Structure 1
Amino acid sequence: MSDQSSNQKKTNQFTIIKDDPNDGHDGYGIGSISLENMSSVIIDPNEDRAFVDMGAMHARSEVERRVKFQNDPDVVKDGKSYWIVWVTVEKGEIGPYFAGVAGSEIVVDRKIKRAYKSMPEHVKHMEKSLKGNIMVEHMDNHSKQLLRDFLADFEGGDMWKNSTDELKNALAA
């Protein structure tokens, strides 16, 4: 039982900012993108839940496993929608906060073991999140509420309290 609870705790952690790997170094690697302060939050509106799943960084999240991705969304027209929300954490004057948040849809049909997601959209949303943008206007209200509740409750809510009004307003019901 304790193993299960410790595993649960490990998977529900945001990646907090690490030192800049390029500090003091010139040359190779300069200008590369670091994903060290980005985490992926899965929103499952079908089960009313939200959780951190770092497997999404490599298309191996809980909802992406054991399905074959298709380029045509019509293949999964009977599938269930999920959101992979790319959340970037920065450290401000009063502590860490949710700086960038961008949601990308994924549709999964478990019956036929097929799924659809737009890889260019996911990459674009990851980049937008890294740049501190808030992109959730295309998400349904129920999913935004699940995300809001998850972020507001995460580890006592301090990162939510430290976050911008733009984020809070974008996720307001």
Structure 2
Amino acid sequence: MPRKKDLGGGFQILGADSTTHGGYVTGTLNLNNISAVLIDGDEATIDLGAIHGKSKAERGIKFIDDPSQMEAELPNPKTYYIVWVAVDRGPNGPFYAGLGDCTVQIDRKARRGFKNMAEHVNQMDAAMKRKVKIKFLDNRAKRALKQLLIDHSQEMWNNTPEETKAALESET
């Protein structure tokens, strides 16, 4: 059974003990210290359901596989962002260690959506490896994410490397 882990910064992290069931989770991704943030416009919220492809925005949506079908299947898509946030602990305490972003296109009325699963996996992997890869966020989303991270824990934000903070600076 997954256990909850708290790094002292308040992010609730779901993890699996690698010794459970004598190596039951061997060969699986270790999701310790990773969380997901869903950004809808200028509102960013922690949404752990996104780790399993079931964010608040994705529930009840049938996803198409072929991007060439987007125009036909999603006449009025809305873009949501999912940001993978890795946290770690340094000598000064917990900090935001890695970020990776990706998009989800959803047409609520049509109940259809599109997401590039390979991109989601690659961006989550980058965050887990403590890399900062912000490729898709617009300025509004960057501001929302930055504010969520600061509001969540000023201490963690203060301990975060400048490279990570710079990636969330919006262009004027």
Relative to the length of structure 2, the TM-score reads: 0.81
Change (3 A) 1:77 1:144: farther
Name the CA distance, whole Å, in 2 between partners of 1:53 and 1:17: 12
1:130 and 1:124, CA in 2 relative to 1: closer, same or farther beyond 3 A? Answer: same
TM-score of the pair, normalised by structure 1: 0.81
Runs of 5+ consecutive residues of structure 1 not aligned to the other structure = 1-12
Q: Structure 1 residues 31 and 124, CA, compared in 2 at 3 Å: closer, same or farther?
A: same
1:15–1:36 Cα contact (<8 Å) kept: no
* Paired amino acid for 2:125: E
Task: Give the whole-Å Cα distance in 2 for the aligned partners of 1:114 and 1:124.
Answer: 23
Quick check: 1:135 aligned with 2:133? yes
Q: Which residue of 2 aligns with 1:172?
A: 169
- After superposition, the C-alpha distances for 1:67-118 in whole angstroms (9 at most, x for unaligned) are 1001223332521101010000011111111101111100110010001100
> Which residue in 1 is equivalent to 2:61?
67
Contiguous gaps of at least 5 residues in structure 2? 1-9
**Which residue identity is paired with 2:167?**
A
More strand by share: 2
Q: State the distance in 1 between where 2:137 and 2:82 align.
A: 11
1:110 to 1:31, Cα distance in 2 relative to 1, 3 A: closer
Tell me, in whole angstroms, the C-alpha distance in 1 between the residues paired with 2:77 and 2:16. 41
Matching residue of 2:119: 121
Deviation at 1:136, TM superposition (A): 1.1
